[in-house]
Structure 1
């Protein structure tokens, strides 16, 4: 009996060693897959803070938490099952689905530029002031954008572990999903709370702490504005890159080959920093593709007679009424001394 028990213990030890080795393999593969998706992770980190730009300070972390929870749901309950199923039985569908997402990202970025050109900006008042419905709308928009970025992250990670067995792929992608969400939204939380850290430092007796605190408080609004611009550019870049790679994978090689040959020429012509300049060239071309495609969709949605934006203009602007910022009717725009400014 003791010999049987010892044999059983040996088997348990062997299984434990095999499990530990498998965990090490999963960790290493997850780290490699995450590194491959680093560019999109940076984009995700740049895009997200704009959704809490101008939000009341006491709602920033709760909103980021809601977006992070939505991001986990996107990755674990939508993207991961769909990606695994499609990669197993219909891998040809992954590229068209990603391209639809890339088109949406390009539209989002182009729409933000269109809004700035017209003098309109999103979230003019903090969501906490506008009410819970506005906060829900803000979170929903952020989670929707995260779905596209997360989809590219997960597909890139999936491509890196495509040769692994099914359950190994599942474990690796779960690790990637959790790790990337923690990294992205942890960094976002740090960014948006830096002004609060500045206030705390400014209240300390140390003159150095006070100077640093005042600098943080004064500088963070500018940093957030820059991040908002970077986030818009990132939408165009990532959306355009998805489309650029997608059309190549679908068999239309001309545009991708043009960009790729340009990259190779730049890398060969400039020693030392040629690789970085080639990456910048690819990024610029991707952003241009995203801007062009996004502008076409914006035109369809907001400018052309059959777009929804035209219908909204017909129903509000031609009715002889203007809306106040809180959504109430301000009556006919006739008196020159009205307190409600006309729309730009």
Structure 2
């Protein structure tokens, strides 16, 4: 009897772990847009630090990110327990903010002005002056990166909370904690690897073996392209994720997307592929449109207050 009870308990624990794992995977997929942007942005913010200080700076920002999540995760759980009705509005706000950030990047890329460059650089990317204190500049970089991380982490936590809103409180705790730890370790582990990639390429390029030198030169040439690629992928994912959140939160729009996907899926030959791509395309277009509207509203509001 005792053995049977123990096996039943182990089976229950395994089932719970499977549920947590499945929900964590769903949440990780939904937060992929923010994750790509977080990765690219943090790698850019650490750029410009002396080579011997890059890893200490990344570690300092990672510790700040953990502190951010120690604030955000309990706050999200409190909202879930005390005001669950607020989850969907917060999720919609997070989706709209993702679309706004993505469209602002596009607008800045194609219509940037000199003052925009100064504003987007901020204290974390301000150019160093000859008489500036390196330690003070490093502290400013860390503070700016931690502030940015707080915003992006809040988006990740809200999106994750929306994906587990119907689960039990214990399941929410497990998934939110798992996502917070995995995202922080993953992002800053990759950031550490990215910022040291050029050092690895330089070291290889100085080796006597010809294949090593060729690999090193290839890494040095690919590192800037990787940073640019991460930024492009992160921006596209922001529209897909943010637009998907907004479409899912508007029943009429969600039904239209589903109807369009079913219609193209019925086409012979490429219907299966089109049925998969159509929701992504429509979510992305919805994200772009929402980002344009929010940016227009923010811009008009700034003009009125000025």
Common fold by TM > 0.5? yes
Q: Specify the alignment match of 2:153 in structure 1.
A: 146
Partners of 2:104 and 2:295 within 8 A in 1: yes
Q: Specify the alignment match of 1:27 in structure 2.
A: 17
Deviation at residue 98 of structure 1 after TM alignment? 0.9
| CA distance in 2: counterparts of 1:270 and 1:192, whole angstroms | 48
Deviations 1:99-147 (A, max 9, x none): 1112222221111111112234543998374434355234312431232
TM-score, normalised to structure 2's length? 0.77
Q: Specify the alignment match of 1:263 in structure 2.
A: 261
Deviation at residue 22 of structure 1 after TM alignment? 6.2
Partners of 2:24 and 2:178 within 8 A in 1: no
Q: Name which of 202, 205, 211 aligns with 2:205.
A: 202
Larger helix proportion of the pair: 2
Matched, 1:193 2:218: no
Q: Which protein is bigger by CA-based radius of gyration?
A: 1
Partners of 2:243 and 2:285 within 8 A in 1: yes
Deviation at residue 192 of structure 1 after TM alignment? 3.7
| CA distance in 1: counterparts of 2:56 and 2:292, whole angstroms | 33
TM-score, normalised to structure 1's length? 0.70
Q: Specify the alignment match of 1:53 in structure 2.
A: 44
Deviations 1:213-257 (A, max 9, x none): 110111110111121122222222222222111222xxxx2x221
Q: Specify the alignment match of 1:294 in structure 2.
A: 291
| CA distance in 1: counterparts of 2:303 and 2:186, whole angstroms | 37
Deviations 1:290-339 (A, max 9, x none): 2222222222333x3x415983xxxxxxxxxxxxxxxxxxxxxxxxxxxx
Change (3 A) 1:83 1:310: closer
Gaps of 5+ in 2: 129-136
| CA distance in 2: counterparts of 1:229 and 1:286, whole angstroms | 17
Q: Specify the alignment match of 1:307 in structure 2.
A: 302
SS in 1 for 2:96: helix
Q: How big is the alpha-carbon RMSD for the aligned residues of Structure 1 and Structure 2? A: 3.4
| CA distance in 1: counterparts of 2:197 and 2:269, whole angstroms | 39
